Structure 1
Amino acid sequence: MSYQPVKSLLGVAIATVVAGGAQAQHLQLEEVVVTAQKRVESLQDVPISVSAISGQKMEDASITNLESLTTYIPNFSMNQGTIANNITIRGVSSGVNPGFEQSTGMYVDGIYYGRSQLSRLPLFDMERVEVLRGPQPILFGKNSIAGAVNMTTASPGEEFEGQISALYEFEEEQQDYRAVFSGPLTDTLSGRIAMLYRDQEGSFTNFNSSHNEKQEEETVIRGSLRWMPTDLLTMDLKYEHAEFDDVGRNVELAQSIVREDLAGTGAGVDYVTALNNFVGLVNNTLMLEPPVDFAGEDGELNRVRGSNGDYHNNTADVLVLDIDYAFGEYTLTSTTGYLEYDFEQNCDCDFTGASILNAGQDESFEQFSQELRITSPGNETVDYIAGVFYQTNELDFRDSINVPDNSLLRLLNPNFRNISSRRFAQQESDMWAVFAQATWNVSDRLRLVFGARYTEEDKEATKQQVHYGGNTAFPATDPTGTLPNVYFGLNPLFGAFAVEPYDTIRSDRQEEAFTPLFTVQYDLGEDAMVYATYTEGFKAGGFDIRSNGHPDPSVVNACNLDTSTNPPACADDIVGVFDFDEEEAESIEVGAKVGLGGVAELNMAAFYTEYTNLQTSQFDGILGFNVTNAGKAEIQGLELDGRWLVAEGLTLSGAVAWLDFEYTDFKNNQCYFGQQVLEPGSVQPDGVTCDATGKRKEYTPEYSGTLSADYVISFGNNLELRTVLDLVFSDDYLFTPTLDPRNKQDAYTKWNLRVALSDVAGNWELAFIGKNLSDEDVVTFGGDAPLAGALTGGTGTAYYQFLDRPRTFALQALYRF
């Protein structure tokens, strides 16, 4: 699609606001308040590219998690994958490896949520969510090299209030029930309790199941207390328990193809055809027992799939104690947090309806953090925030590749049934940091901001890979390679899948980083300011948990054995990854925030960032993932957002982003299927990796944005009708880290509509909500189908693709008291 009409419309709107602002002086936009700099400030005073979404907007738009929030924030996305999740800001993300912390720091009530699994937590009863783009190395310093998501839940109030709401969505049969009660318990103590229950059936048909997918069920309860024994002391205690489970997935096989140089020659076969023929051969010719139960794949992107037992179960508990103590004009703040979660999943990771293999995974995580900071009084010659931060965590990770008893892989070897390869990993981390940020108010108009953070982190980890027959573990080859692990023929088979058994390996890392920030901010007038910022970001290195091979090439425990030699030698060794290095960034941002007569605001930010050693996760083409540091990348772009109170009851708002991403040095990217044919010059001497220098990363649309119109009219004696229309658009983008040009999401435009009837006092409300009214099919994640190359002899493949939700319609009822 062309974005020229959008750009023209934006230009006309800006010109109209400038010309007409003086005619509506009696109108006034409501101020947006944020805590992006650990102070309560107007959004228009903060020299950062920030998008803020209020809790009310999230409730109105039925935003229940970060993934649905991304619709309203350009240059920001959250994508759920097969084994992990990914938050992306300005094209920068961490990839899908459980060893990663996110490049975008996620903070809830001041507590760092670094694990990707926590990005799936349900969101409700929020005060606001702020998305800070670009490196945030000082006040949100824990690995926030791409940006930060700062979330604040609602706190107890001094007056009794409550709210009950219910929503029913017709397409996916979603039910959403919420209740909030808040108010004083004594003269000095207030409390709040918030509860959520949500479930839905999903929009995918699974021909191996009687239910649609993916089914979701979420239960969250949050209790909070606020104690104010004096005017000088405030203590907030919050506890949250969340359970959020899925059955099935919103993924299917699509784009089943033959390699381009073989198309029409009869020498190649696509994956779906090969799979269907293979299953037919197994059932009709070999008469295996038990037979392979398989209805066949169609290879079309049509929300029809086959799967066997996908599920995803999560439990999380969070406890936060926040203490503010005022002494003189200064404030001392203590934020203590304890967080733990457990999750387990089963992934039918061949993504077909046939019984081939599945992947199990479970993870336990505990984290404790403590931050102390002092905040000076505002409006002084020098204002500052300084503090110390400590965090410790433990991760226990287990996963397995399982071949069930009725797997069709029995055709390859009758022993390939009821076997598995299991991985066990543990990681511990301790880090501390000291930070400070000071604003020198040079004059009434000029401010200079200086900030710095020094961080030290110690990590240690262990990992082990073990092959099993049933529940019997078989030892790995010893480090000398003199005892090949060939029990029951398991080794050659798992070796063909590039899975190598090995005894426990250990490693540790010690890293330190100094990250500075410098900002110049100048007021052009009472309602306009400009700023320029230079900053450096840092993201610690770590350990690859998902790699399927030993990192030492001299340790050869599993491969295709060359039996012509005595003792047998490995013809094709497997080399994995364990350690990966830290990631660094340097960024320059210039921007302006302009108020126009109190009725409009326009904010602009232009940025240029250089990243080195980007941490990326590369699928090995079979069953595993290897972490690699991606050399260098340059990112530049422009972000615009604004609001305009056109008339009483009518507000227009919008945000538009332009993004340019280029790998300037990335010679070790994983090759995509057929790249040796389509781009032979990019293939590296190892024949496995390809040069991606000069290419764009996945999830980097050139243009993206949202436009919204909010119109409220009163009628009758006590009624109000509010209509909100949202337009969401994106340019095309790739959605796989291999940068396969076949895996491109086309440009799209979505429309969302909410029409609500309420009383003027806002005590009750009935609303109709329509999302994705244009019914766009948007792929949010994807990759190569495992085993496709093996089954087609390398001549064909197919891709698994995750789809966003289709067009949906919902009714919502709300009562406040």
Structure 2
Amino acid sequence: MKTHLKLITSSVLLSMMAGAAAPAFAQGAVLEEIIVTAAKREQNIRDVAATVNVVTGAQLDDYSILNFKDIERITSGISLTQKNPRNNTISMRGVVVDPESGTGAAVDVYQNDVPQRADNIFGAIYDMNRVEVLRGPQGSVQGATSPAGAIILHTTKPSLDGISGYVQADYGEGNSAFNLQGAVNLPLVTDKLGLRIAAYDDRSDGTNIVNIGTGNVQETSSTSFRASLLWRPTENLEFSLVHQDNDELLMGTPAVVGSRSAAAGFRGVPGIPCSIIQGFGVGGPGCTTLTAEDNSALAADDAFSTRDAQITTLNMDWDIGENHQLSYVYGRTDSEKVSRTENDISSNFALSQAFLQFGLGVQSDTDYLTHQGTTTVVDADVHELRISSVDNPVWNYMFGVFYRDQKTSTRFQSFSTSASFLPLGAVANSPFSPIVFTGGHIEGINFATGGTIPFNTKNEAIFTSHSFQLSEKTVLEAAIRLQDVEGFNTTDILFDGLQQPERISIQGVQAFSLTPLIPPAAVPSVANGIAQQVLQGTLAALRGINIESIPPEFQRRESDSTTGSISLRHDFSDETTAYIAYSRSFRPGGISVTPGSPLGAGDLLYGDEESDNIEIGTKMVYLDGALEVNTALYKQDFDGFLLFTRNLDFVAPDGSVQALTGGLVSNANATFSGVDLDWRAALSERWRAGGGISYVKAELDNASVPCNIRQPGQQVGRCSSSSRVPGAPELTANIFAEYARPWGDMEFFARGNAKYNGGIVATRAVEFGTSPGETDSYNLVDLFMGVRQENWEVSVWAKNLFDEDANLDLSNPGDNFDFNGDFREVFLLPPRSFGLSARMDF
């Protein structure tokens, strides 16, 4: 209810910006034409038989969009999140992919028509011409056949007719954010050759989370440099070469909420939640409780990620004769990402000797390592060649070939603790009689496992698209894509050493004999001997770790697919256009990577995913071009939808129930149906506004999904489900507006935007009597006011005006090995901040 009130309040604020200055649509105010290249040819956005949204470079500047993930603040229907320093997710039309799953992207990202890994794009966004958001399956002319959509970034090209550029600075108080960026355009040869240099530097405290364990505040920094060269040797030939270097540091552990009593032990011993301790009357002041408002982390060390990416793109367009164009696209990407994730999210905060007091004989220990480190190196080459007709009156066509070769190698090292307790019970390996242990533990077995995960893919495709002008008002378009995907993936896990082996010891052994055959005085030495055997057996087992997670017969895979689209568009009038479209997408199958979990192929393997989408849309213009409203209804049926489930348990070969590392991908039938609506209006010469709303109902169709309810003989449980698909909100909406009026020889302006996001269902597994749960909805509001002249602008702003602190993700207590209580991670929004922006154009 509180969020709904904020949404209403923010909408009213934006609507009141103009006051009574524009009570009706003013005559003569019209919207500017938008040209897109969503179908690999220049088109008016109203002529595209699909849902396409455009964020212009001017809008990115106006609404202070300085980071890729902030694009969602001015666009409905997409969610761009960065849950931790390692992983970024993009969702659209209800489909989302967890990067840990290893499946193909739900939404692919392109820069200058070259597909990119999402983690190379999350971060710096600057000096952009426009961003195109394509919704629905992309199975025809784009480089990847993603099921939910694509985001295409078009960087600003050099100008060939004069020196120009800009400098822009932003400072925000609240999370100490500072951004400086600029560009300079240099024509080297008039009308022939031009160079544009752009640079970006951004630093902030992120969401202001303080890690109590280390005293450090979350920190983000990003620098980027881009050089663009435009060469036009003749009127009909153009080359555009762009090289961009990105360097980024993200440091900070996610905040936690929950509680823990003082009765917590060393790592590897479960803590006791406050609710239980207080139930026995012994908790009280000894409990540590944190809420989202505390904005605190408790990890023993700080998580971090450094990224270094070099992105090079080359685009060539050659007009051959009067009505043909030959186009070539080349891309090269080299990147390295070094990450460290702290698995013990709450460390050993406020420890005491409570276990000793309870007679359990357990010492606390605070410096065992529990983190995981990874280094991921990626290099990718992309080639695309197209020939297409141009401006033929009846039939226009395109034929193309596509090739992508991407090699990924991830080196990982993960620290664990083993053999915390001696067996508290009878041990039958005494040569005389059973020995019963009543206490004792093995301390100091802190070890590392490691390995290298290669993941290589090769994609080869041919495609063609055709547009037929059936009549003056009716156009039929069809496209087909044939592709072959080859992949190689393996994971070998090896013992990688002991941490501080000199500290391994047996502590506090307490035992007694069941018979008088062993004199009481001899029991300690016999018990210690047995304990030493347990210790040596444990160390031998650890040193012998050599796990081949993916059997050789499943390490190579190949998938062939046929995808495409067909649409019929009709102009009922100059103001009204309607279309119906069918499109098909494909994602290849594979095998789940679950290091250290000995599951069978039946649980690990998953098949290909295919989807068929029907969309009906209208594009309407009203009030002599002052108001534009676009609407699309769609239904997308998935055969083998790739569903990722976390927090699973499995039955090990020895019969014990253990936690599964990572998660499992499974196939499920599912249906996604929804509506997208967007609008923009020139309410007057001084007042512009726009917005959108997206709703999707995404449900599984009697699918067999992994769960923690097992039948006899099952390693991993399976449950039948027709529930909501997890991971993405059902409803999102946004509104933005700007009002300007003269003020002396300057112009005063006020602008704002509001974004509503519904809650999401968690990807965690279902257990007896539980449901995955849903996050709260939230509303983000940003306001700006300032003055400007033709070549400069100064503004003050407030971001997250209502200081929303919503949790954007759900996790179970212990999802990240919280050994010391019932804390769980939360993913919070950046806090409210006030700031100043200044820009100078020249």
The answer to whether TM tops 0.5 is yes
Equivalent pairs: percent with the same residue? 22
**d(CA) in 1 for partners of 2:822 and 2:414?**
21
Determine which of 801, 807, 810 is the counterpart of 1:779: 807
Question: In the alignment, residue 297 of structure 2 is paired with which amino acid?
Answer: R
Instruction: Give SS of 1:136's match.
Output: coil
1:589 and 2:615 aligned:
yes
> Which residue in 1 is equivalent to 2:306?
313
**d(CA) in 2 for partners of 1:391 and 1:532?**
32
For residues 288-303 of structure 1, the aligned pairs below 5 Å read 298-302=289-293, 303=295
**d(CA) in 2 for partners of 1:129 and 1:276?**
53
For residues 549-560 of structure 1, the aligned pairs below 5 Å read 549-552=597-600
Instruction: Give SS of 1:805's match.
Output: coil
Determine which of 372, 380, 385 is the counterpart of 1:359: 372
Q: Is the 8 A contact 2:492 2:546 kept in 1?
A: no
**d(CA) in 2 for partners of 1:487 and 1:370?**
56
Per-residue CA deviation, residues 500-546 of structure 1 (Å, 9 max, x unaligned), is: 73388431111100012110101011122000111110012234345
Q: Is the 8 A contact 2:493 2:595 kept in 1?
A: no
Question: In the alignment, residue 602 of structure 1 is paired with which amino acid?
Answer: V
**d(CA) in 2 for partners of 1:534 and 1:434?**
20
**d(CA) in 1 for partners of 2:373 and 2:816?**
20
**d(CA) in 1 for partners of 2:93 and 2:674?**
8
Higher relative CO (CA 8 A, sep ≥ 6), structure 1 or 2?
Answer: 2
Cα shift at 1:467: 2.0
Q: Is the 8 A contact 1:684 1:690 kept in 2?
A: no
> Which residue in 2 is equivalent to 1:259?
none
Determine which of 460, 463, 468 is the counterpart of 1:440: 468
**d(CA) in 1 for partners of 2:574 and 2:235?**
33
Cα shift at 1:67: 1.8
**d(CA) in 2 for partners of 1:730 and 1:55?**
24
Instruction: Give SS of 1:208's match.
Output: coil
Question: In the alignment, residue 301 of structure 1 is paired with which amino acid?
Answer: A
Q: Is the 8 A contact 2:415 2:449 kept in 1?
A: yes
**d(CA) in 2 for partners of 1:727 and 1:332?**
43
Determine which of 11, 31, 38 is the counterpart of 2:40: 38
Question: In the alignment, residue 347 of structure 1 is paired with which amino acid?
Answer: T
**d(CA) in 1 for partners of 2:377 and 2:148?**
26
1:245 and 2:249 aligned:
yes
Instruction: Give SS of 1:148's match.
Output: strand
Taking a change above 3 Å as real, the CA distance of residues 544 and 691 of structure 1, as seen in their structure-2 partners, is closer
**d(CA) in 2 for partners of 1:52 and 1:276?**
56
Taking a change above 3 Å as real, the CA distance of residues 165 and 732 of structure 1, as seen in their structure-2 partners, is same
**d(CA) in 1 for partners of 2:37 and 2:788?**
31
Q: Is the 8 A contact 1:751 1:773 kept in 2?
A: yes
Determine which of 170, 174, 180 is the counterpart of 1:171: 174
Instruction: Give SS of 1:726's match.
Output: strand
1:156 and 2:158 aligned:
yes
1:336 and 2:330 aligned:
yes
**d(CA) in 2 for partners of 1:320 and 1:788?**
39
1:208 and 2:213 aligned:
yes
For residues 525-536 of structure 1, the aligned pairs below 5 Å read 525-536=573-584
**d(CA) in 2 for partners of 1:44 and 1:281?**
61
**d(CA) in 2 for partners of 1:68 and 1:527?**
33
Determine which of 827, 831, 834 is the counterpart of 1:802: 827
Cα shift at 1:701: 2.8
> Which residue in 2 is equivalent to 1:757?
787
Question: In the alignment, residue 741 of structure 2 is paired with which amino acid?
Answer: I
Taking a change above 3 Å as real, the CA distance of residues 378 and 77 of structure 1, as seen in their structure-2 partners, is same
Question: In the alignment, residue 502 of structure 1 is paired with which amino acid?
Answer: E
Determine which of 60, 63, 72 is the counterpart of 1:61: 63
Taking a change above 3 Å as real, the CA distance of residues 428 and 789 of structure 1, as seen in their structure-2 partners, is closer
For residues 254-333 of structure 1, the aligned pairs below 5 Å read 254=257, 256=258, 272-273=259-260, 277-278=264-265, 298-302=289-293, 303-307=295-299, 308-328=301-321, 329-333=323-327
Per-residue CA deviation, residues 733-771 of structure 1 (Å, 9 max, x unaligned), is: 324344775642222222111112111x1x111111211
Question: In the alignment, residue 560 of structure 2 is paired with which amino acid?
Answer: E
**d(CA) in 2 for partners of 1:400 and 1:650?**
56
> Which residue in 2 is equivalent to 1:226?
230
For residues 12-91 of structure 1, the aligned pairs below 5 Å read 24-82=26-84, 83-91=86-94
> Which residue in 1 is equivalent to 2:363?
none
Cα shift at 1:240: 0.6
Taking a change above 3 Å as real, the CA distance of residues 801 and 730 of structure 1, as seen in their structure-2 partners, is same
**d(CA) in 2 for partners of 1:688 and 1:39?**
49
**d(CA) in 2 for partners of 1:728 and 1:531?**
28
Cα shift at 1:413: 5.5
Instruction: Give SS of 1:333's match.
Output: strand
**d(CA) in 2 for partners of 1:487 and 1:235?**
67
Per-residue CA deviation, residues 164-191 of structure 1 (Å, 9 max, x unaligned), is: 1111111110111112001311121101
Taking a change above 3 Å as real, the CA distance of residues 609 and 486 of structure 1, as seen in their structure-2 partners, is farther
Computing the radius of gyration from Cα coordinates, the structure with the larger value is 2
Taking a change above 3 Å as real, the CA distance of residues 747 and 494 of structure 1, as seen in their structure-2 partners, is farther
**d(CA) in 1 for partners of 2:256 and 2:421?**
19
**d(CA) in 1 for partners of 2:154 and 2:270?**
57
> Which residue in 1 is equivalent to 2:504?
none
Over the aligned positions, Cα root-mean-square deviation in angstroms equals 3.4
Per-residue CA deviation, residues 528-579 of structure 1 (Å, 9 max, x unaligned), is: 20001111100122343454324547xxxxxxxxxxxxxxxxxxxxx973x4
Taking a change above 3 Å as real, the CA distance of residues 157 and 807 of structure 1, as seen in their structure-2 partners, is same
Cα shift at 1:205: 1.6
Q: Is the 8 A contact 2:376 2:411 kept in 1?
A: yes
**d(CA) in 2 for partners of 1:778 and 1:494?**
45
Taking a change above 3 Å as real, the CA distance of residues 155 and 409 of structure 1, as seen in their structure-2 partners, is farther
Instruction: Give SS of 1:29's match.
Output: coil
Instruction: Give SS of 2:174's match.
Output: coil
Taking a change above 3 Å as real, the CA distance of residues 67 and 787 of structure 1, as seen in their structure-2 partners, is closer
**d(CA) in 2 for partners of 1:278 and 1:471?**
20
**d(CA) in 1 for partners of 2:204 and 2:125?**
16
Taking a change above 3 Å as real, the CA distance of residues 452 and 765 of structure 1, as seen in their structure-2 partners, is same
Cα shift at 1:786: 3.4
> Which residue in 1 is equivalent to 2:361?
none
Instruction: Give SS of 2:752's match.
Output: strand
**d(CA) in 2 for partners of 1:150 and 1:542?**
27
**Which TM-score applies when normalising by structure 2?**
0.80
**d(CA) in 1 for partners of 2:77 and 2:165?**
35
Q: Is the 8 A contact 1:660 1:700 kept in 2?
A: no
Taking a change above 3 Å as real, the CA distance of residues 781 and 788 of structure 1, as seen in their structure-2 partners, is closer
Per-residue CA deviation, residues 577-630 of structure 1 (Å, 9 max, x unaligned), is: 3x4322111110000001111100000000000112222333244461233223
1:349 and 2:374 aligned:
no
Cα shift at 1:472: 12
Q: Is the 8 A contact 2:448 2:498 kept in 1?
A: yes
Question: In the alignment, residue 801 of structure 1 is paired with which amino acid?
Answer: V
Taking a change above 3 Å as real, the CA distance of residues 273 and 23 of structure 1, as seen in their structure-2 partners, is closer
> Which residue in 2 is equivalent to 1:679?
none
1:613 and 2:640 aligned:
yes
For residues 180-191 of structure 1, the aligned pairs below 5 Å read 180-187=183-190, 188-191=192-195
Once the two structures are overlaid, the 10-residue window that deviates more, 458-467 or 354-363, is: 354-363
Taking a change above 3 Å as real, the CA distance of residues 487 and 227 of structure 1, as seen in their structure-2 partners, is farther
Once the two structures are overlaid, the 10-residue window that deviates more, 625-634 or 147-156, is: 625-634
Determine which of 144, 153, 158 is the counterpart of 2:146: 144
Instruction: Give SS of 1:421's match.
Output: strand
**d(CA) in 2 for partners of 1:149 and 1:281?**
44
Q: Is the 8 A contact 2:549 2:596 kept in 1?
A: no
Question: In the alignment, residue 88 of structure 2 is paired with which amino acid?
Answer: N
